[in-house]
Each structure stands twice: as C-alpha cells, then as structure tokens.
Amino acid sequence: MKKPRTLFATTILVAAASVYSAFAQPIPQFSTTSLNIGIHLIKAEVASNEVEREYGLMFREKMAANEGMLFIFEKPQVVCMWMKNTLLPLSVAFIDNNGKIINIENMMAQTTDSHCSKKPAQFALEMNQGWFKTKSIQPDTPIEGLPHIN
C-alpha cells in the first residue's frame, strides 16, 4: 500500500507545483481597444508582445458577452492558437493585414489542439465560443478599429 500512497502524493505535489509556477509569473496588464464588426461593438484586451500572446486568456473563469482578446503579430504569418490552461471555450477569428476575417475556428477549453489560420494573419480575435456564429459573422467580413501595422 505504500507505493500507491507515494505515487498519489507525488502526483499531488507535481500538480501543485504546476499551478504555483503558472501563478508565480506576473499576469500581464493588457491595454484595451474598441473594435466593431458591422453593428457589433467589441471591447478587446490587446496582446501585442510575446509574453502577452503566450498568456492570453489563460485562467479566466468568465468573459462578458462583447469582450474578447486581440492578438497582434509583427508581420502576416500563418499562426496557430491552442487552449492550454484556458478555462473558457472560445472562437477565434484569424484576420489579415487588411482587416478581413480569414477563417473562424472553435476551440475547446484546456486542450492543446492547434487551430491555425488558413492564410497569413496579422491578427487573431478570441471571443466566447459561438459569438461569431450567433452574429452571422463569416470569413471576408471586415473588422474596424484594428491598429495600423507598419
């Protein structure tokens, strides 16, 4: 019986260490921006550097209906997103450098499945899962209010 208890105790310690290390890192302070897709207004937190993009919406337990996170990339590129340590199911719209949606993908909470842009993207906008669908927003829809990238 000692081996199962030891294994259980070790598993608990490893899990606790993982949670501690995630929270030991400072949470980025995200700026916000206003975006609109047609008549739909969005308050988006902005992840514009590597640290902010890596942290994203991890550990969030809720997000208001018209809030999201805008990821900005230095140059257009095929980008992939995943949901490790993300507690909310999300939808992500990949956006080109002209501000048009390339594709929209649904992502399940706490998974490491990759969800990628079908073409080079300059931005990615994460919203609560199903947000784009309920608003009838599809690829080629323009998004206004995106920052200008040189």
Beta bridge mates, 61: none
Instruction: Report pLDDT digits (tens) over 122-144.
Output: 999 999 999 999 999 999 999 99
Tokens of 51: 């640290």
pLDDT, residue 14, reads 40
Domain CATH code at residue 120: 2.60.120.1140
What average pLDDT score do residues 81-106 get?
97
Q: How many CB atoms lie within 10 A of CB 62?
A: 8
Q: Mean pLDDT score of the chain, rounded to an integer?
A: 87
Cα separation, 6 vs 4, whole angstroms: 5
Asked whether residue 11 is domain-assigned, the answer is: no
Q: φ, ψ for residue 98 (rounded to 5)?
A: -95, 0
pLDDT digit string (tens) for 16-37?
A: 444 444 445 677 889 999 999 9
Residue 10 lies in a domain: no
Asked if the structure places residue 127 within a domain, the reply is: yes
User: Given this model, what pLDDT does residue 10 score?
Assistant: 38
Q: Looking at the DSSP assignment, which residues form a beta bridge with residue 128?
A: 90
Q: Which candidate, 107, 60, 51, places its Cα nearest to that of 85?
A: 60
With a cut of 80, say whether residue 1 has pLDDT above it. Answer: no
- Asked if residue 9 is part of any domain, the answer here is no
User: Which residue range(s) make up the domain with 78?
Assistant: 29-134
The structural domain count of the chain equals 1
Strand partners, 124: 71, 94
User: How many H-runs (helices) and E-runs (strands) does the chain carry?
Assistant: 3, 8
Q: Residue 13 pLDDT > 70, yes or no?
A: no
Flag whether 18 is in a domain: no
Q: For residue 20, is it within any domain?
A: no
- Residue at 22 is within a domain: no
In a domain, 101, yes or no: yes
